[in-house]
Structure 1
Amino acid sequence: MLWKAIGAARELTRAHDIAAVLIRYGFGDLVRRIGLADTLERAGKALHWNEPEELARLEPPARVRRAFEELGPTFIKLGQILATRVDLFPPEWIAEFGRLQDSAPAVPFEQVREQLTEDLGETPETAFAELDTQPLAAASLAQVYRARLHDGRPVILKVRRPGIRPTIEADLRLLARLAEIIEAEAPDLRRYRPCEVVREFTLSLRREIDFAAECRYAERIAASFIGRPEIVIPRVHWQWCGERLNVQDYIDGIAGRDLAAVDAAGLERKLLARRGASAVLKMMLEDGFFHADPHPGNVFYLHGNRIAFIDFGMVGRLSESRRYELAVLLNGLVSNDAAAVADVLLEWRDAEAPDTEPERLRHEIDTFVDQYKGVPLKQLDLGAMLSDLVMILREHGIALPSDLSLLIKAFITLEGMGRQLDPDFDMGAEAAPFLRRVLLAHHAPAAVAKRGWRTLAQAVDLVTGLPRDLSQLLRSARRGKLQVQVDIVSLKRLGEQLDRAATRMTIGIVTAALIIGSAIVMTVAREPGFAALNTLGLLGFFGAVAGGVAVLLSIWRGGRDN
């Protein structure tokens, strides 16, 4: 199956590179199980299965991280997405994925100039009064340059690496096919939901390499902070922006990691922590559109205790109903309401997830929440509570909806940043006003009336459309076009086994017939005048041997599969 998929997509060379890296880092068994080794052997590719001694001492999470770094930008970005899936991977894996550094050697500016000229519609030297050809930063997807407009305003140019999109699209096609194979051929890896993760990753990465979309996200978030001068979002200069180029104001501030510089500049750490938390909580709980990667590298502190957010390539979205569920969950954690927490988590459970015992889950959540009863709000580590709660979900095989995995990761990152600035930072106290507003807004008369009208309209549509639906159903039945399809996995497997058994039986019968027929022919060939039949008898015996070997190999392979 994999051979056909890779052959159709013409990705064999890249598949060989991926297999070679996986084998070098000790994942040769995985390569064999997903059929990649057989595919490459048929293609004549040589694979070396020896594992270097240095790598043999690494733990599996570190090996995967090193392999992703070697495989390039697509896999580095995949690792960063996996770092948000705290519901699927244990902490040691999340920590390793979080260490993936999105950096790469800079492409010489001469290779960038042609693309820049095409995107700007003129040469960079004409478009800008000044342009520093030495990049400020070089990542796997883009390089960043400083420039100055003709009016004197400093800006940055975020330029997509030339020719990178075809490589990314090829990797995404291959990843999608590999995910399908893993789900089909490696049942113990199915709990990591490879197809779902790859779909989510594909959408995220395609948005991230579209710099025009990033500019729209920045403007949308900037619009929500009009009237709040303490929060700064770089201005977008649309006349030069496009899919491959993002031009925004240059932020000259103190990097979020440089706390010594924060103290030296006389900024108030406690105030910065509160303002940063307030800004991100507003994006999450009020706007439903938030910066999904608010780590210290994407945050700058400015004079006047202002905070600037940059890099809106990764954003998250939450519907109104999801924000309400999140508010109920967080409020339940803060107020020790275990029943409310359990109800929300069971509501989030994927319909295709393994069966979960609701009462057992409720009991574990009740025990978890009870340990915080009586603890002052200031002493609650909300990020740690969420991490522990997600670990309970992971043990029950429950995966979070994809829109929440980004949020929880961002929430935990946010609290970590707040505590770095202020060891006494109280995320629960900062979140409480937002939670109250979300809960009150959900139960406000206008909101209740709106949901009531929507439900009534749906009911009316259902009732008025019922006669038409029944008529179509009966018409299909009269024409003999009504079909009922029942898909039972166990019966499908039984059918496959019966098909293999019938094939073996057929080959066995044909083999037996060849043996009997050849014996008769060889007997007749001894009579005078029939010597020419001797060759025909020998061919029959050879065919019988081949058929017998085929049956034995089929039985042996079937035993290995089982």
Structure 2
Amino acid sequence: MPYSRRENALAAGTIGQVHRATLANGDRVVIKVQRPTAREEIEQDLALLEVFAEKVRERPALQKVIDMEAVFKQLSMSLHRELDFTQEASNIERMRGVLQGYDHLDVPGLHRELSTSRLLVMEEIQGIPIMKAPEGPARTQAARQLLESYYKQIIVDGFFHADPHPGNLMWWKDRVYFLDFGMVGNLETELREHLMLLLMSFWQEDTEFLTDVTLMLSGAVDRSDLDVSHYQAEIGELMSKYRTSGLAEMQVGPILQEMSEIALRHGVPLPASLTLIGKALAQVQLATVQLDPTLDPFEVAGKFLTRSLLQGMRSKLNPKTLLYQSQKLKVRALRAIETFERLIGARPGQKLVVNFQASSLEDTVRRAGRRLALGLIAAASMFATGFTAVSTTVADWVPTTFGTLAALLTFGLIIDLVRRH
């Protein structure tokens, strides 16, 4: 092996040990070596947990408090991923891409050619704990970037470091380095969208909408037996409690955890993944408080979410995307009309008397669908005109084209409205 170990283990756990070493070319590295018995011990622990999960499944009252089967599946999948160091190497490379654009955040360099499923060789981060970072602009900027990067990891990329405790964050070369990527979180698109709405509603102090978002997260929107007013009142108390607290107490992680407890009391438990998110956010905010205790997490979240929404809208407001969306809208409108025609018996195959009686209604439906499509596309074109006109990165012909299209569609809609048939 082209390296030499320099000292005893830096850290040790159930799965492996971490050592400092020096490569033959003089580079200082850290190597993570898996214990020979790690897989066998993990499998034994998981077998015991599976038996416990089966016992819990037989007790409906306990099953309502915690979905042990889901917890077991999540834990089993996570531990099996941790046993494969090639997966951790991929996590490091993926996080490097997620953190692009943050000049005060980074991950260790990776020696892929020396790494295997049971051996991981990484650049040695020769830094200090983040709480000992020297005072100055770099430290303040790193605090903001660290917190904002977590909103990006969770809401935009759906991939986040799930264990950012102080031992996994180091300060070196004016940067915060993330260490140990054995535990990461992956989130589906729908959950990320709901989380964005949740943070925005809390930022805007909109208790009613925040209640709606938590019900969407739990899939309990149509629950007729839920005392919504009481539930909303508790959510409102939680919001008031934190929005009047000092900056150091306004932690998004504990807020999510308390929100989960409220939902559970009302029989609408939030997704289990929200617990992992809350834990990660709680840990990372403690780190940001150490770096900059004056940082307002909701101010950072609000600015990031606003910027993300604008970037998302800008990416969708290009001619190719708009043309595609307009054609998709047209097809959906036609399908809706055809479905309605079949319901009223106006499509071929039905009796002639039915078609005759429904002919006037058929014409009405067709006209309404046509006008709806024209109106929606015209509105989108007008919005695109204004948005691209103020952009400094869009060619001059783009807003002109959208403006012309909007005018023609609006004119066509007016003509269609004044026609008798």
Give secondary structure in 2 for the equivalent of 1:401: coil
SS at match of 1:171: helix
Which residue matches 1:361? 231
The 5 A counterparts of 1:524-535 are: none
CA distance in 1: counterparts of 2:327 and 2:191, whole angstroms: 20
Output the CA distance in 2 between the equivalents of 1:249 and 1:379: 34
Question: What's the counterpart of residue 283 of structure 2?
Answer: 413
Instruction: Compute the displacement of 1:380 (Å).
Output: 7.4
- Structure 1 residues 519-555: Cα deviation after superposition (integer angstroms, max 9, x where no partner): xxxxxxxxxxxxxxxxxxxxxxxxxxxxxxxxxxxxx
1: CA distance, partners of 2:26 / 2:51:
50
User: Which residue of the partner structure matches residue 209 of structure 2?
Assistant: 340
Residues of 2 paired with 1:413 and 1:454: CA distance?
44
2:133 pairs, out of 257, 262, 267, with 262
Contact 1:135–1:146 (Cα < 8 Å) also in 2: yes
Does 2:17 align with 1:143? Answer: yes
Residue matched to 1:293: 163
Tell me what 2:218 maps to. Answer: 349
CA 1:210–1:462: 2 relative to 1, 3 Å: farther
SS in 1 for 2:58: helix
Q: Is the 8 A contact 2:170 2:176 kept in 1?
A: yes
Q: Does 1:155 align with 2:66?
A: no
Confirm or deny: 8 A CA contact 1:232 1:306 kept in the other structure.
yes
Q: 1:151/1:322 Cα in 2 relative to 1: closer, same or farther (>3 Å)?
A: same
Change (3 A) 1:245 1:455: farther
What amino acid does structure 2 have at the position aligned with 1:358? Answer: V
Secondary structure of the residue aligned to 1:180 is: helix
CA displacement 1:37-64 (0-9 Å, x = unmatched): xxxxxxxxxxxxxxxxxxxxxxxxxxxx
Q: Distance in 2 between matches of 1:218 and 1:453?
A: 41
CA distance in 2, matches of 1:179, 1:222: 37
For 2:156 and 2:240, how far apart are their aligned partners in 1? 29
In the TM superposition, 1:406-485 aligns within 5 A as: 406-440=276-310, 446=316
Q: Check whether the contact 1:285–1:434 (CA below 8 A) recurs between aligned residues.
A: no
The aligned residue for residue 388 of structure 2 is none
SS at match of 1:397: coil
Mapped contact 2:127–2:171 kept (Cα < 8 A)? yes
Normalization by structure 1: what TM-score?
0.53
Alpha-carbon deviation of 1:227?
A: 4.9
Q: 1:262 to 1:378 in 2, by over 3 A?
A: closer
Report the CA distance shift for 1:133/1:175 in structure 2 as closer, same or farther (over 3 A).
same
The letter of the residue matching 1:140 is T
How many residue pairs get aligned? The number is 333
1:144/1:156 contact within 8 Å kept = yes
1:60-459 matches, within 5 Å, as 124=1, 127-128=2-3, 130-132=4-6, 134-185=8-59, 187-188=61-62, 190-256=64-130, 259=131, 261-263=132-134, 269-303=139-173, 305-350=174-219, 356-369=226-239, 375=244, 381-383=250-252, 384-440=254-310, 446=316
Mapped partners of 1:320, 1:204: distance in 2: 20
Equivalent-residue separation in structure 1 for 2:10 and 2:78 (angstroms): 25
The structure having more radius of gyration, on CA atoms, is 1
Measured after TM superposition, the shift of residue 372 of structure 1 is 6.3
Distance 1:185 1:459, change over 3 A: farther
Q: Which moved more, 1:138-147 or 1:443-452?
A: 443-452
SS of the counterpart of 1:290? strand
Long gaps (5+) in structure 1:
1-123, 465-562
Instruction: State the one-letter code of the partner of 1:336.
Output: E
SS at match of 2:177: strand
Encode CA deviations 1:98-118: one digit per residue, 9 max, x unaligned: xxxxxxxxxxxxxxxxxxxxx
CA distance in 1 between counterparts of 2:248 and 2:54 reads: 45
Distance 1:302 1:165, change over 3 A: same
**Aligned-partner Cα distance in 2 for 1:365–1:271:** 33
Give the aligned partner of residue 504 of structure 1: none
**Letter of the structure 1 residue corresponding to residue 180 of structure 2:** D
Shift of 1:350: 5.0
1:456-483 per-position Cα deviation (integer Å, ceiling 9, x unaligned): 889999999xxxxxxxxxxxxxxxxxxx
2:33 match: secondary structure: strand
Shift of 1:177: 2.5
